Amino acid sequence: MRVVLQRVTEASVIIGNNKVAEIGNGLLILLGIEEADSQNDIDWLTAKIAKLRIFGDEDGIMNCSIQDVGGDIIVVSQFTLHAATKKGNRPSYIKAARPDVAIPLYESFIKTMELNLGKKVQTGQFGADMKVTLVNNGPVTILIDSKIKE
């Protein structure tokens, strides 16, 4: 399981002409799920995200977590995070989980993230064509892969 975290001052998701998610200060999480992922990946990753100190304290030092600052989260599924680009010019998505595997894991990620934060997490829609807007704060962008825990 792979995520791209972006610390934002605002973010939103639009599907068609409908705004389905909108936050102020918080995190936009792009979530890529592969066939080999399980609840263990979700548990580790959501705990890591909830405690990750990437928000500024009173001195402007990144010393606070999303919980410390009371920030919000939007989770957007993004299978392209598992693109293999080694050969040729067309990315391969062979490692990305098929919907029958990915959807239950996506839903579990959201529920587990909500349990870790003690609050509702906003989302895009799995498999939809979404327009994601954000103002990256910092900029702070972090990649975390649950298969690389070093």
Active site residue ranges:
78-80
What is the Cα–Cα distance from 93 to 120, expressed in whole angstroms?
30
Q: What is the dihedral of CA 106, 149, 114, 99, to 10 degrees?
A: 0
Q: What is the dihedral of CA 87, 92, 97, 100, to 10 degrees?
A: -150
Report the amino acid identity of residue 144: I
What is the Cα–Cα distance from 115 to 132, expressed in whole angstroms?
25
